Amino acid sequence: MSAFAPWKHQQMKASSTLVAWAIVGIMFLSGRAQADLDGFVTEQTLKTIAEETSGGAAKRNLDQVTLYHRMRGSKQFRSAAEHILGQLQQYGYDNATILEYPADGETMFGTQKSRLVWEVDFAELWEIDSSGTRSERYASWAAMPLSVAQDSVSGKVTTELVDIGAGTNAADYAGKEIAGKLVLTVSQPETVVEKAVGELGAAGIISYAPNQKTAWWLQNDRLVRWGHLGSFSKTKSFAFMISLATARKLKARLADGETITLDAHIEARQEAGVHSVVTASIAGSDP
């Protein structure tokens, strides 16, 4: 027998005791919750609700909705809204409908100005090898809509990639030829667009910025994060989002003095439209 076995036995015994007490606590809380509900809802009503609800159906609806890239006012957002509307009507909500609000870049909703609809028809980012042939695809709207930064506009260019790091101060651009090039940055595209594109003439942006910095955001370097440009930015441009793993490989090659040529092509637009909001109500019994 291992010298550590007695300690393990005591640890397992203590763990079992904790689990047992946790179960007793959950049962007690569940009993209290049930008792509290009984004061407002009859047991038969609770039973009827339980028999009608379905976690499986809810998951199937969610599976359908997640197939759409639900950017404000877009065709895919509308498709998701129409799916939800159809399901509500199927469930018997005769008053279910879609409310429409202006997405025109002018109407104010409280302190927020309505943003224009953003639509993307096509977007791909390829590396071009020395023979002029496409060698690797880094981004595709059709395959992964998140690889295109929100509010990108149309653009088409075949040019070199330049690493600007954060791209937030003059030192990041020192000694680098930016005009007509694609810039690689760890910052959100919105943060660097005025300097890199507006002032220095970069052709577009390639970003590997995290959309949320947490204690563990660097642990999965294969994720492509949500990126954005400003809806009301003075400088209009486009940006592709790539993973941290891909960015690290590109940065290492650039640091070794290699020239990397990319072909960026995006067809996107901002236009006036509507925001679609699905609504339905359950009529009460008290007039």
Q: Which of 198, 192, 131, 194 is nearest to 163 (CA)?
A: 192
Q: Tell me the per-residue pLDDT of 127-163, one tens digit each, with 9 for 90 and over.
A: 999 999 999 999 999 999 999 999 999 999 999 999 9
Q: Tell me the per-residue pLDDT of 28-43, one tens digit each, with 9 for 90 and over.
A: 445 555 556 666 888 8
Residue 21: the pLDDT is 45
Residue 287: the pLDDT is 78
Name beta bridge partners: 99. Answer: 277
The three-state secondary structure class of 144 is: coil
Residue 24: the pLDDT is 44
How many other CB atoms are found less than 10 A from the CB of residue 114?
A: 20
More confident of the two residues 14 and 52 = 52
Q: Specify the pTM.
A: 0.79
pLDDT surpassing 70 at residue 282: yes
Q: Which of 135, 154, 151 is nearest to 262 (CA)?
A: 135
Q: Which of 260, 266, 263, 265 is nearest to 163 (CA)?
A: 260
Residue 38: the pLDDT is 62
Residue 32: the pLDDT is 52
Give the residue-averaged pLDDT of 101-128: 95
DSSP 227-259: -B--TT-SS---EEE--HHHHHHHHHHHHTT--
Residue 218: the pLDDT is 73
Residue 23: the pLDDT is 43
**Gap between the Cα atoms of 237 and 170, Å rounded:** 20
Residue 2: the pLDDT is 39
More confident of the two residues 160 and 7 = 160
The overall average pLDDT reported for the chain is 87
